[in-house]
C-alpha cells in the first residue's frame, strides 16, 4: 500500500513534465520540451524521414539583430517541439557576412536529394547597415539539425532579365531613365516600376532579396521566392541542381504590388501564394494569389483570413505554409506576431487551412489540434 501511494505521488509530481500537449493555441506562449517559449521566428518547416524540423530566427530580449543565429526544433506531432539548439551560428569575426549583430531573417531549409545536403537560405542584412544590403544568404549541412556551414551571401541574378521577358520588354526596360522618376508613388513612376525601373537599376549588382521562402516543385526543382526591387515586386528565382545557387532564371510576381512575407503551397494542381503588405513590424491585411503555373500569371484574390482580427491577419504576418506529410488536403498557415520592443516574446499563429469551393480559408481558432489531420 505504502509503495502504491508513493507511486501515485510520483506520478502527480512528474505528470506536468511528461504530459504531452494536444493543442496549438495561436498567439499564446508555446513552450518547448524544456518549458521555454519556442524561439524560432520568421520560420519554416522541413519534413524529413518522419520528423518535422522547425527553423527560425533566434530573437533576443531587446534587439531584433541576430545575436545567436538560426534555431532548430523537431517534432513528430507538430505540437510538442524538442529544442535541437543552434543550426547556424552567427560569427564573432569582425567583417564576417554573418557577424553577430547582423540582421538574419526568415530562414528556410530544404533537403537536396542529389547532394544529400540540407540547404538553408535566409535574408541577410550586414551588421550596422540597416536594411541596405538586401542579400540572400546560403548555408549547408549534412544533418537536419546542423551545424550549417555558411557559404556566401549576395544580391541575386546579376545581368539577368526576367525569364519571360521578350526583346520588346527588355528594350522597354533599357529605355527607362531613373533620373526622370525622382518622385516616387506617381502614376508614371508606378508604370516604370512595373516595366522594370529597379530591375534595370540593379542589373549589374544583382537584384535585392529580402523577405523570402523556398519551394520545391513536383519535378524536384527548387525556387527561392523573395521581396525584391525595394520590396515592390516579388521574384520567383530558380535554384541550381544542388540548390545553392541561382540559375539566372526568374519571374516577377505582382510588379509594384509591395508584397512581403511570401508563403507558397500547391493543392489540386493550383499554386497559392499568401503574402503581406509592407508595414514594418506592424500587421496588415494578408493578400492571396493563385496560379496554375509557378511562373505565372498570378491572379490576386481576397485575403483568406476570417474571424476576429482577420483584417490584420490576426495581428500576424505570414511566414510559411506547412503541407502536412501524407495528407494532400492538410496545410497549416504559419505567421508571426512580432514584438519589436521585446522581440523574444514574439508569438506564433498557426492555423489550419480549409477550402471553400477550392479556395483557401484561414479561420481564427483559439485552440485546435493537428491530431485531427490524422484521426
Ligand atoms: C517586415 C518583414 O516581413 C520582417 O521580416 C522584417 O524584415 C520587418 N519588416 C522589419 O521591419
- Per-residue pLDDT tens over the stretch 155-200: 999 999 999 999 999 999 999 999 999 999 999 999 999 999 999 9
Residue bearing the CA closest to ligand 1, atom 11? 280
Cα 356 to middle of ligand 1, angstroms: 31
pLDDT at 240 over 90: yes
Residue 289 to residue 274: CA distance in whole angstroms: 7
User: Closest ligand 1 atom, CA of 276?
Assistant: 3
Strands 305-306 and 359-363: parallel
Can you tell me the mean pLDDT for 124-131? 98
Probe residue for ligand 1, chosen from 43, 105, 228, 282 as the CB with the greatest number of ligand atoms within 8 Å: 105
Residue bearing the CA closest to ligand 1, atom 1? 280
pLDDT-based confidence at 288, cuts 50/70/90?
A: very high
Distances (CA, A) of 271 to 179, 236, 264, 265: 38, 13, 7, 6
User: Closest ligand 1 atom, CA of 261?
Assistant: 3
106 ligand 1 Cβ < 6 A: yes
Domain finish residue from 201, 228, 258: 201
Are 268 and 323 in the same domain? Answer: yes
Are 221 and 261 in the same domain? Answer: yes
Residue bearing the CA closest to ligand 1, atom 9? 280
Spell out the SS3 assignment of the chain: CHHHHHHHHHHHHHHHHHCCCCCECCCCCCECCCCCECCCEEEEEEEECCEEEEEEECCCCCCCCCCCEEEEEEECCCCCCEEEEEEEECECCCCCCCECCCEEEEEEEEEECCCCEEEEEEEEECCCCCCCCCEEEEEEECCCCCCCEEEEEECECCCCCCCCCCHHHHHHHHCCCHHHCCCCCCHHHHHHHHCCHHHHHCCCCCECCCCEEEEECCCCCEEEEEEECCCCEEEEEEECCCCCCEEEEEEEECCCCCCEEEEEEEECCEEEEEEECCCCCCCCCCEEEEECCCCCCCEEECCCEECCCHHHHHHCEEEEEEECCCCCCCEEEEEEECCCCCHHHCEEEEEEEEEECCEEEEECCCCECCHHHHC
pLDDT value of position 16: 46
Can you tell me the mean pLDDT for 138-152? 98
pLDDT at 360 over 60: yes
pLDDT value of position 2: 54
Handedness of CA 135, 139, 144, 145 (dihedral sign): negative
364 ligand 1 Cβ < 6 A: no
pLDDT at 237 over 80: yes
Are 314 and 169 in the same domain? Answer: no
pLDDT at 3 over 70: no
Can you tell me the mean pLDDT for 15-30? 81
Q: Which of 17-26, 167-176, 185-194, 275-284 has the lowest mean pLDDT?
A: 17-26
- Is 128 within a domain? yes
Are 183 and 324 in the same domain? Answer: no
Total domains, the chain: 2
Are 109 and 67 in the same domain? Answer: yes
User: Closest ligand 1 atom, CA of 64?
Assistant: 10
Instruction: State residue 293 phi and psi, 5-degree precision.
Output: -135, 145
C-alpha cell at position 289: 494569389
- Is 298 within a domain? yes
pLDDT-based confidence at 15, cuts 50/70/90?
A: very low
Residue 212 to residue 260: CA distance in whole angstroms: 8
336 ligand 1 Cβ < 6 A: no
- Mean of per-residue pLDDT scores for the chain: 95
pLDDT at 11 over 80: no
Cα 335 to middle of ligand 1, angstroms: 12
Cα 362 to middle of ligand 1, angstroms: 22
Can you tell me the mean pLDDT for 264-291? 98
105 ligand 1 Cβ < 6 A: yes
Are 136 and 174 in the same domain? Answer: no
Contacts of 163 (CB under 8 A, 6+ apart): 238, 249, 250, 251, 295
- Is 312 within a domain? yes
- Is 369 within a domain? no
Are 43 and 144 in the same domain? Answer: yes
Distances (CA, A) of 302 to 182, 290, 324: 33, 11, 24
- Is 277 within a domain? yes
Are 333 and 210 in the same domain? Answer: yes
Cα 219 to middle of ligand 1, angstroms: 31
Domain finish residue from 169, 185, 201: 201
pLDDT value of position 25: 98
Residue with cell 530580449: 61
125 ligand 1 Cβ < 6 A: no
Contact 135, 100 (CB under 8 A): no
Are 313 and 252 in the same domain? Answer: yes
Are 56 and 129 in the same domain? Answer: yes
Cα 319 to middle of ligand 1, angstroms: 11
- Is 6 within a domain? no
281 ligand 1 Cβ < 6 A: yes
Strands 222-228 and 347-356: unpaired
Q: In what order do the strands lie in the sheet with 260-267?
A: 260-267, 270-276, 287-291, 299-301
Instruction: State residue 171 phi and psi, 5-degree precision.
Output: -65, -40
List, in sequence order, every residue forming a beta bridge with 141; answer none if it has no partner.
118
The domain in which residue 184 lies consists of 161-201
Cα 280 to middle of ligand 1, angstroms: 5
The number of residues making up the chain comes to 375
Can you tell me the mean pLDDT for 140-144? 98
C-alpha cell at position 10: 510520483
Q: What is the CATH number of the domain that holds 348?
A: 2.115.10.20
Residue 108 to residue 331: CA distance in whole angstroms: 17
- Is 131 within a domain? yes
Dihedral, CA of residue 106, residue 267, residue 253 and residue 339, to nearest 10: -30
Residue bearing the CA closest to ligand 1, atom 10? 280
pLDDT value of position 12: 47
Cα 317 to middle of ligand 1, angstroms: 9
Cα 301 to middle of ligand 1, angstroms: 23
User: Closest ligand 1 atom, CA of 280?
Assistant: 11
Cα 42 to middle of ligand 1, angstroms: 9
Percent of the chain whose pLDDT exceeds 90: 94
Q: How many CB atoms sit inside 10 A of residue 187's CB?
A: 7
Can you tell me the mean pLDDT for 352-366? 98
Are 189 and 278 in the same domain? Answer: no
Contacts of 115 (CB under 8 A, 6+ apart): 242, 243
- Is 310 within a domain? yes
pLDDT value of position 8: 46
Are 150 and 165 in the same domain? Answer: no
pLDDT at 305 over 60: yes
Residue bearing the CA closest to ligand 1, atom 3? 261
Domain finish residue from 177, 201, 225: 201
Probe residue for ligand 1, chosen from 280, 282, 336 as the CB with the greatest number of ligand atoms within 8 Å: 280
Amino acid at each position: 500500500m505504502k509503495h502504491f501511494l508513493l507511486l501515485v505521488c510520483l506520478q502527480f509530481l512528474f505528470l506536468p513534465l511528461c504530459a504531452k500537449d494536444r493543442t496549438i493555441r495561436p498567439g499564446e506562449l508555446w513552450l518547448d520540451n524544456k518549458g521555454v517559449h519556442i524561439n524560432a521566428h520568421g520560420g519554416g518547416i522541413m519534413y524529413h524521414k518522419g520528423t518535422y524540423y522547425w527553423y527560425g530566427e533566434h530573437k533576443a530580449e531587446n534587439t531584433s539583430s541576430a545575436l545567436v543565429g538560426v534555431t532548430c526544433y523537431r517534432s513528430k506531432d507538430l505540437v510538442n517541439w524538442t529544442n535541437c539548439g543552434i543550426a547556424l551560428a552567427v560569427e564573432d569575426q569582425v567583417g564576417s557576412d554573418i557577424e553577430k549583430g547582423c540582421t538574419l531573417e526568415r530562414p528556410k531549409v530544404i533537403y537536396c536529394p542529389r547532394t544529400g545536403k540540407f540547404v538553408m537560405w535566409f535574408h541577410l542584412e550586414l551588421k550596422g547597415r540597416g536594411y541596405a544590403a538586401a542579400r540572400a544568404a546560403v548555408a549547408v549541412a549534412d544533418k537536419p539539425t546542423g551545424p550549417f556551414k555558411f557559404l556566401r551571401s549576395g544580391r541575386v541574378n546579376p545581368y539577368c532579365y526576367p525569364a519571360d521577358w521578350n526583346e520588346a520588354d527588355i528594350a522597354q526596360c533599357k529605355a527607362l531613365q531613373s533620373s526622370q522618376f525622382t518622385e516616387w508613388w506617381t502614376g508614371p513612376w508606378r508604370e516604370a516600376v512595373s516595366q522594370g525601373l529597379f530591375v534595370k537599376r540593379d542589373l549589374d549588382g544583382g537584384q535585392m532579396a529580402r523577405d523570402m521562402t523556398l519551394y520545391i516543385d513536383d519535378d524536384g526543382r527548387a525556387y527561392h521566392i523573395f521581396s525584391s526591387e525595394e520590396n515592390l515586386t516579388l521574384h520567383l528565382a530558380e535554384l541550381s541542381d544542388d540548390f545553392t545557387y541561382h540559375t539566372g532564371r526568374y519571374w516577377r510576381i505582382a510588379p509594384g504590388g509591395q508584397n512581403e512575407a511570401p508563403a507558397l503551397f500547391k493543392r489540386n494542381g493550383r499554386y497559392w501564394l499568401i503574402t503581406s503588405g509592407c508595414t514594418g513590424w506592424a500587421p496588415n491585411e494578408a493578400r492571396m494569389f493563385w496560379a496554375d503555373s509557378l511562373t505565372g500569371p498570378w491572379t490576386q484574390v481576397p485575403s483568406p483570413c476570417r474571424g476576429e482580427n482577420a483584417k490584420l491577419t490576426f495581428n500576424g504576418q505570414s511566414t510559411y505554409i506547412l503541407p502536412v506529410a501524407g495528407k494532400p488536403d492538410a496545410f497549416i498557415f504559419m505567421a508571426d506576431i512580432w514584438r519589436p520592443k521585446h522581440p523574444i516574446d514574439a508569438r506564433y499563429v498557426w492555423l489550419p487551412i480549409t477550402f471553400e469551393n477550392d479556395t483557401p480559408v484561414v479561420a481564427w481558432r483559439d485552440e485546435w489540434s493537428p491530431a485531427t489531420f490524422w484521426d
